[in-house]
Amino acid sequence: MPVVLFVVAYLLGTFPSATLIARANGVDISTVGSGNPGASNVTRALGWRKGVWVYVLDALKGAIATGLALGLDGRPLAYWCGAAAIVGHMFPIFRRFKGGKGAATGSGVLLVLHPVIVPFALALWWIVAKVTGKAAVGTFAAVTLVPVGLAVLGRPAWEYFAIGALSLLILARHWRNFVRIVKREEPAMRSSR
């Protein structure tokens, strides 16, 4: 059962939310902006309403995968399945392993495992992204907050390290954004519509 759930979680993560929504609106998201199939790039290309839809669908992938495992087999497997959904989003087998960066899917995982942290992480993302104009800076701030939140909640050490590992994975996928920010080449988080 754990292996089946793990595979299902990975496949859920591969669902191409951004690609489908952009294509339905006549846009190939891989050729626009950063080329990343994620909510921020869709927002820049198609406006914030479409970006919110992509965020919600990507978060649902993580939430469903994590929730199924949590209900059937407990917390450790829920972490593994949440990680599988994030990896599926980042490295989808059906799209030559070229996927998104995992922040939205990760927030869905967090929503199931630690719902009290999510409003604070989202609020911090919004404030920092709004002030700096850069979604990646908001993501860095929000993702960094999550392990701190677990420490404040007094969760077991293994959960702290599991969340820390997922946070590092998501931040690692943003390394090109951070390079562009240093070079002042990162696109602003403003929709064109």
- Residues 50 and 118: their CA atoms lie apart, in Å, by 21
- Name the pLDDT band for 187 (thresholds 50, 70, 90): confident
- If one counts every other C-beta atom within 10 angstroms of the C-beta of residue 52, the result is 13
Token couple for 10: 């990975």
Mean pLDDT of 142-168: 92
The residue that leads in pLDDT, 168 or 180, is 168
- Name the pLDDT band for 183 (thresholds 50, 70, 90): confident
Cβ-proximal residues to 5 (8 Å cutoff; 6+ apart), any chain: 68, 69, 72, 73, 77, 81
Model confidence over 152-164: pLDDT tens digits?
A: 999 999 999 999 9
Is the distance from CB of 96 to CB of 50 less than 8 angstroms?
no
- Residues 96 and 113: their CA atoms lie apart, in Å, by 30
Tell me the DSSP string of 59-81: HHHHHHHHHHHHHHH-HHHHHHH
Question: How long, in residues, is the chain?
Answer: 193
Note the pLDDT of residue 193: 52
Residue boundaries of the structural domains of the chain: 2-182
Residue environment code for 2-35, b if the CB has 16+ CB neighbours within 10 A, otherwise e: eeebbebbbbbbbbbbbbebbeeeebebbebbbe
Mean pLDDT over the full length of the chain: 91
Model confidence over 59-94: pLDDT tens digits?
A: 999 999 999 999 988 899 999 999 999 999 999 999
Q: Does residue 189 carry a pLDDT above 80?
A: no
Share of the chain above pLDDT 90, in %: 70
**φ, ψ for residue 100, nearest 5 deg:** -85, -160
- Among the residues of 14-117, which ranges form H helices? 17-24, 39-46, 48-73, 75-90, 103-113
pTM of the predicted model, to two decimals? 0.92
Is the distance from CB of 57 to CB of 39 less than 8 angstroms?
no
